[in-house]
Amino acid sequence: MKLKLFAGVAFACLAVGASAADIKVEMKNVGAEGAMVFEPAVVKAEVGDTITFVPTDMGHNSELVPGLAPAGAVSWKGGMGQPVSVTLDKEGVYVYQCMPHVVMAMVGVIVAGEPVNMDAIVADATALKARFVMNKDRLDTYLGQAK
């Protein structure tokens, strides 16, 4: 009996070690860094990892900002108040938003592997940042943490 349990635990550890990570990001009305936030807002992951956005509070979604991702990378667009998962398929920086709260800079950053496209993301984020009315420095702060 004891031996069987040990074998089961050992197998479970091996399985976890061999598989890609599943990282959760909460969509929240209020977080440690203010109102209308993804938490954690900056995720460092690896290609093959899956990010799951969890509707901790209702009234949010998660969707990739078109153009703010590695070339040819997977896109995603979650429904309002719905969980959505994405498996990262290209190395680099991804910027995503909550559609109804873009004006409050409810955005987030994912880095898969190394931030190889950071210069392009910074240059192309101008249009997104122009839509922020509040928390105007959030995306720059997040991108700084992602380097």
The site for Cu ion (CB under 5 A) is made up of: 60, 98, 101, 106
- What does 48-104 look like in DSSP terms, one character per residue? T-EEEEE-SSSS---EEPTTSSSTT----BPPTT--EEEE--SSEEEEEE-GGGGGG
Residue 50 CB, nearest approach to Cu ion (Å): 21
Distance CA 101, CA 97 (A): 8
d(CA 69, CA 109): 10
Nearer to Cu ion, 93 or 98 (CB): 98
* Residue number, nearest CB to Cu ion: 98
- Nearest approach in angstroms of CB 54 to Cu ion is 13
CB of 62 to Cu ion, least distance (A): 9
Of the pair 68, 112, the CB lying nearest Cu ion is at 68
Work out how close the CB of 100 gets to Cu ion at its nearest, in angstroms, rounded to a whole number.
6
Count of CB atoms situated within 10 Å of the CB of 48: 13
CB nearer to Cu ion: pick between 31 and 113: 31
